[in-house]
């Protein structure tokens, strides 16, 4: 099962008037620092503060009337939760989201604020998949996956569709497009668009160093599941493996995947705030971090970078900006 360019165009039509066409912006200061041209896709300004609304709405809007009555169930640490909650609210259906008890409070509160019921679980002891399956079974509800679903992938790919059109309007041709990656829904969708419209453009994924499952999977040529020894600052990017649907797409399309440490992410967040005047959550900032560290070269090239979300806990953000993040991660 794959996702085609036509699927993504169809998703864009469904999202018209519902999702925000987020801006593609350029910073002279960033260009000067890197010696290239960087265009930033600000999904931080998407509804719910992250790209996840795109896929969630594209999935839910295609449910039948009967399925809408029975509602949906999802599991997420935050951004997918909010995307599903808002999409369900807009479409008039009930939603229950299974969220880890240690998820950022700002994400839990926002999910409830969109009208969804929230069921908290202990991520070290409980299986969120089992909890969601039990609830869905008892209610007859539809489970909405975070990334490994063709409708979700197609919805996320609309960010790439916009990005390519906006770049063309600026007279820019990307040498590379860089996107955060966890399970791979966003990256798979964006990569399908990029490769359809500009086959020579490289596509790169960026993931936390402690969750480098995509890099390992690409090297092995098959899905590799990592067993992390701890948490990542990037709470939105903690999937231990690519998806069964996303991985074949990524394997076919990507130039590679690089990993970023928590300290490098924190520095990128500080740069985004102080120089670019942007609030970006840790997982949303890994692409920028990859450029600032030189892990993906920018000199003499034109690059597009997706800043995928801005839902960062205020206390954590303050500590990152003040340089205290390593204490937060270790605690």
Banded pLDDT at 331 (limits 50, 70, 90): very low
Which band of pLDDT confidence, cut at 50, 70 and 90, is reported for residue 267? very high
Render pLDDT for 64-100 as a digit per residue (tens, 0 to 9): 999 999 999 999 878 999 999 999 999 999 999 999 8
Sketch the domain layout of the chain as residue ranges. 5-51+149-330, 53-143
Is pLDDT above 70 for 328?
no
Is 50 exceeded by the pLDDT of residue 329?
no
Among 3.40.50.1100, 3.20.20.140, 1.20.1250.20, 3.90.550.10, name the CATH number for the domain at 53-143: 3.40.50.1100
Measured in Å, how far apart are the chain's first and last C-alpha atoms?
Answer: 42
Residue 327 reports pLDDT greater than 50: no
Over range 221-237, report the average pLDDT: 91
- CA dist list (Å): 32 to 27, 46, 47, 160, 294: 9, 27, 31, 25, 14
Per-residue pLDDT, averaged over 277-304, amounts to 98
Residue 175 neighbours by CB under 8 Å, 6+ apart: 201, 202, 301, 302, 303
Rounded Cα–Cα distance for residues 10 and 119 (Å):
33
Average confidence (pLDDT) over 102-111: 86
Computed over every residue of the chain, the mean pLDDT equals 95
pLDDT band, very low/low/confident/very high, at 128 (cuts 50, 70, 90) = confident
Closest CA to 182 of 82, 83, 280, 283: 283
Contact 284, 41 (CB under 8 A): no
The per-residue pLDDT for range 213-228, each reduced to its tens digit, is 999 999 999 999 999 8
Nearest to 172 by CA among 294, 41, 304, 291: 304
Q: How far apart are CA 123 and CA 133, in angstroms?
A: 16
Across 170-198, average pLDDT: 98
Give the tokens for residue 309.
């979300």
What value does the mean pLDDT take over residues 199-210?
97
| CA dist., res. 209 & res. 193, Å (int) | 27
5-51+149-330 has which fold? Rossmann fold (3.40.50)
In this chain, the answer to whether the domains covering 5-51+149-330 and 53-143 adopt an identical fold is yes
Residue 42 pLDDT level (bands cut at 50, 70, 90): very high
CA torsion, ordered 19, 277, 284, 255, to nearest 10 deg? 100
Indicate the pLDDT class of residue 102, thresholds 50, 70 and 90. Answer: confident
- Buried residues in 64-85 as b, exposed as e (16+ CB within 10 A): eeeebebbbbbbbbbbbbbbbb
User: Among all residues, which ones are annotated catalytic?
Assistant: 52, 308
Which DSSP letter does residue 50 get?
B
Cβ atoms of 36 and 28 within 8 Å: the answer is no
pLDDT band (50, 70, 90) for residue 326: low
């Amino acid at each position: 099962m794959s996702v085609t360019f036509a699927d993504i165009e169809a998703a864009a039509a469904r999202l018209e008037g519902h999702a925000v066409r987020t801006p593609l912006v350029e910073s002279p200061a960033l260009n000067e620092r890197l010696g290239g041209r960087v265009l930033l896709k600000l999904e931080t300004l998407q509804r719910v503060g992250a790209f996840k609304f795109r896929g969630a709405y594209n999935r839910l809007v295609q449910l039948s009337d009967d399925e809408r009555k029975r509602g949906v169930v999802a599991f997420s640490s935050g951004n997918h939760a909010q995307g599903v909650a808002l999409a369900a609210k807009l479409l008039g259906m009930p939603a229950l989201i299974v969220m880890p008890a240690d998820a950022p409070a700002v994400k839990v509160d926002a999910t409830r604020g969109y009208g969804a019921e929230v069921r908290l679980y202990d991520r070290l002891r409980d299986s969120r998949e089992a909890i969601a399956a039990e609830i869905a079974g008892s209610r007859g509800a539809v489970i909405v996956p975070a990334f490994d679903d063709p409708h979700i992938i197609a919805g996320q790919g609309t960010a790439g569709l916009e990005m390519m059109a906006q770049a063309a309007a600026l007279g820019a041709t990307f040498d590379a497009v860089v996107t955060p990656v966890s399970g791979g829904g966003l990256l798979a969708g964006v990569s399908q668009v990029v490769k359809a419209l500009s086959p020579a453009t490289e596509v790169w994924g960026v993931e936390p160093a402690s969750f480098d499952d995509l890099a390992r999977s690409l090297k092995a040529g098959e899905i590799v599941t990592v067993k992390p020894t701890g948490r990542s600052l990037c709470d939105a990017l903690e999937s231990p493996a690519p998806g069964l649907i996303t991985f074949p797409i990524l394997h076919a399309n990507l130039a590679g995947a690089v990993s970023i440490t928590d300290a490098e992410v924190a520095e990128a967040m500080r740069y985004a705030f102080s120089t670019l005047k942007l609030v970006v959550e840790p997982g949303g900032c890994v692409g920028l971090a990859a450029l600032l560290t030189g892990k993906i070269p920018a000199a003499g090239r034109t690059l597009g970078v997706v800043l995928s979300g801005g839902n960062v806990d205020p206390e954590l953000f303050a500590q990152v900006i003040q340089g205290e993040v390593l204490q937060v991660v270790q605690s």
